[in-house]
Structure 1
Amino acid sequence: MTTSSSVIKLQQLALDPNIPINELLSNAYVIALKLDINDFSAWCQKELHGYQEDDQIPAYRIFRGNMYASDSSGYKPVVLSGENAEYYEMKIIRDAITNLQSLKSTNESQILLKLDPEIEKFFIEKFTQDDRQRFSRLGLTNNPYYDLVAPTYMPVLAISKAQIEHVFVIIRNTILNWSLSLEKQGILGNGLIFTKQEKQMTQHVNYNIGNVGNMANHNDNSTINQTSTNTVQVIKGDFNSLASKLKDYGVEETDIQDLRNVIDVTPTPTSSDELGEGVTNWLGKMSLKALKGSLKVGKDVAMGVLVEAITTYYCG
């Protein structure tokens, strides 16, 4: 065993907690690229540069926390209940690993994150509506200065710093186990040079990198899904056509009926920005199901395609 082996050096880097995670990933990326192990090199690239909207996100990058509403006086906890609470208290971080390193370096035990835009907008409107109703009961909304003095709340999600640190542990362990699997098969490399035989031996390497294999194929699967679901067109005002489209996306019959019941009692909107609380809650429920793999579309595209279908039903 020679110290010039890049695989052995990678193990040493993975075992050294002082080695920056981006340096470790860069070394693993080069080795995977030279060995033509495409799924592993793709994973390293995504961790180094960030995940795109249509990428499948590994479970360790889905964070759970508690929602707070911030105003000039500080942060107030928001108590969530109902079937959508879990969805609202989740946050996917797609950022490059260096950005997570900045979060990890904070001295605080909790980290405050901005919500996804559609969830943030929903709660800002809800906070404003709740305040207006409360002040209305006191007869204060008729005051000409109400809009100037009314509190403005911004929702944020507080997650534990330990969840961020967990990401770094998983990445180090994944790279370490992968390099050990390479060594077990006799794939060591002379510096960064690998023989033809070593490259051929990679097909016998067993390793577990979670969702990496699925991520490498996600774009192809997404294209197939889009092709198959485009066969059904939503017609303005025709709920049956909307139902057919939703079935194509994997939405269950009971959920489609729930949406029909909501639509029956919801004023007709003129754009996707005015779908109403009932429809927005239903969309949150569907996004949670997509996150758990219950739909034929992933969580990252579920909200977009469902909103498009419902908006087409309303507005054409």
Structure 2
Amino acid sequence: MATIVEKLQQAALDKDTPVNDLLRRVKFVATKLGLPSVEEWVDQELNGYASDAPPDYRSVHGTPIAVNPYRGPMPIGGYVDGLSWKTVREPVSALEALLTSTASGDTLQIGYSDKIREKLDRSNGVHGWNYYLQVSPSELRRILDRVRTLVLDWALTLEKTGIMGTEDSFDRAEKEKAQATATTINIGHIGSLVGNLGHGNVSGDIAISGLNTEQINSMLPQLRAHRDELVAADAHGPTLDDRLNALEKAIAYPQSDHGFVKGLLTDLRNCLSGAAGSLVATGALNILNAGLGTGVPAS
């Protein structure tokens, strides 16, 4: 019979297992092992981030829209980078339900706060307009895929640590090992994808100092020039296009939030990892891994 950790690994690999159900399995394992920080992360993903700041992977990028009462929806002009990002706080079950109910080709609308709407009204000399961020459903799928990957990484780390359990539990020695190595197997620290997912600084484990803007600026045009080759090699085209556009804008603006930049670079790396057979992707991955501190430095 498969052990409790093997079952978790299998569920993480099974695309038919809803992320909502997958997280409940993580909570079961974390509770059995006495890992409260993992339980906390699961609870926030299951119930939503009501007060704590969500991790970087829950930031989505889209097009800011103003609804003109006479002309209808239209993109907001000018410098809108600050409006192009929204943090998604809803539970994973809500994200899964929304994706299920969204027809192919549709976009999603995420409303702005009353404070932002009032500021936009004042800047446009109007009153009572509606504003929202128009995003692709792929942005929500990316969040769910990130959570699934984190769970798989965590379950694999448990195995590497020698914690497998039986069919439905763990022995005393495994529980003691889990608690003694809690920092190592904390789901917030095994994620080379997003850094620390626990309280406080959700991206503090990723270093960007080794990846300067000159390197990024020289890499992005090459990726764009070989876009079709990368997609043919199994990179996800829409995600690749979106991250390249967002990175070009972010790098051009010196005051861009480093957390957003790191998140974009991480998303770009994840997208390119599917095209690892491409020499262009391999070169870019070497640079990104070196800068993000998750791989062998580029030679």
Q: TM-score band (shorter)?
A: 0.5 to 0.7
Runs of 5+ consecutive residues of structure 1 not aligned to the other structure: 132-150, 219-286, 294-316
Kindly indicate whether the alpha-carbon contact (under 8 Å) linking 2:53 and 2:200 is maintained by their aligned counterparts in 1.
Answer: no
Query: Are 1:100 and 2:95 counterparts?
Result: yes
What does residue 229 of structure 2 align with?
none
- 8 A contact 1:57–1:215 mirrored in 2: no
Superposed displacement of residue 104, structure 1: 1.9
User: 2:36 and 2:195 mapped to 1: Cα distance?
Assistant: 10
Which whole-Å CA distance do the structure 1 matches of 2:122 and 2:73 have between them? 18
CA offsets per residue over residues 234-268 of structure 1, 9 Å max, x none? Answer: xxxxxxxxxxxxxxxxxxxxxxxxxxxxxxxxxxx
Letter in 1 for 2:56: A
Distance, in Å, in 2 between the alignment partners of 1:26 and 1:15 is: 15
- Say yes or no: does 1:215 pair with 2:198: yes
The within-5 A match list for 1:25-44 is 25-44=23-42
140, 143, 150: which one pairs with 1:167? 143
Matched position secondary structure for 2:23: helix
- Tell me which of 123, 131, 149 is aligned to 1:126: 123
Q: 1:166 deviation in Å?
A: 0.4
Output the CA distance in 2 between the equivalents of 1:174 and 1:215: 13
Of 45, 61, 66, 2:63 maps to: 66
**Distance in 2 separating the partners of 1:184 and 1:97:** 28
Does the residue aligned with 2:198 lie in a helix, a strand or coil? helix
- Residue deviations 1:168-213 (CA, integer Å, cap 9, x gap): 1111111011111112222112233211110122216475236675
How much is the aligned-residue C-alpha RMSD, in angstroms?
Answer: 2.8
Give the equivalent residue in structure 2 for 1:114: 111
Residue 46 of structure 1: aligned partner? 44
1:22 and 1:97 in contact (8 A); partners too: yes
Quote the sequence identity (%): 25
Q: Structure 2 CA distance, aligned partners of 1:42 and 1:212? A: 16
The runs of 5 or more residues in structure 2 that have no matched partner are 202-254, 262-299
Secondary structure of 1:216's counterpart equals coil
- In structure 1, the residue matched to 2:131 is 155
Report the TM-score when normalising by structure 1: 0.56
Q: Which residue of 2 aligns with 1:187?
A: 163
Q: 1:21 to 1:176 in 2, by over 3 A?
A: same
For the 8 Å contact 2:57–2:194, the answer to whether it is kept is no
Aligned partner of 2:77 among 76, 79, 89 = 79
When normalised by structure 2's length, the TM-score is 0.59
C-alpha distance 120-46 of structure 1, shift in aligned 2 (>3 A): same
Q: Distance in 1 between matches of 2:53 and 2:128?
A: 35
Classify the secondary structure of the residue corresponding to 1:75: strand
3-state DSSP of counterpart to 1:70? strand
CA deviation profile, 1:195-233 (whole Å, cap 9, x unmatched): 111012221647523667563367xxxxxxxxxxxxxxx
Say whether the 8 Å CA contact 2:163–2:174 is kept in structure 1: yes
Give the Cα separation in 2 of the matches to 1:23 and 1:62. 23
Write the distance in 1 (CA, Å) between the matches of 2:196 and 2:37: 6
Greater CA radius of gyration, 1 or 2? 1
1:120-168 CA distance string (max 9 Å, x none): 22113333x1x5xxxxxxxxxxxxxxxxxxx853111111211111011
Paired letter, 2:4: S
One-letter amino acid matched to 1:200: E
Please give the per-residue CA displacement for 1:3-53, whole angstroms capped at 9, x wherever unaligned: 2x1111111111111111110000011101211122222111110001122
SS for the counterpart of 1:191 is coil
Give the whole-Å Cα distance in 2 for the aligned partners of 1:214 and 1:26: 17
Q: Contact conserved, 2:41 with 2:197, CA < 8 A, in 1?
A: no
2:90 is equivalent to residue 90 of structure 1: no
Indicate how the Cα distance of structure 1 residues 211 and 15 shifts in structure 2: closer, same or farther if over 3 A, else same.
closer
Instruction: Give me the whole-angstrom Cα distance separating, in 2, the residues matched to 1:199 and 1:191.
Output: 15
Secondary structure of the 1:39 match is helix
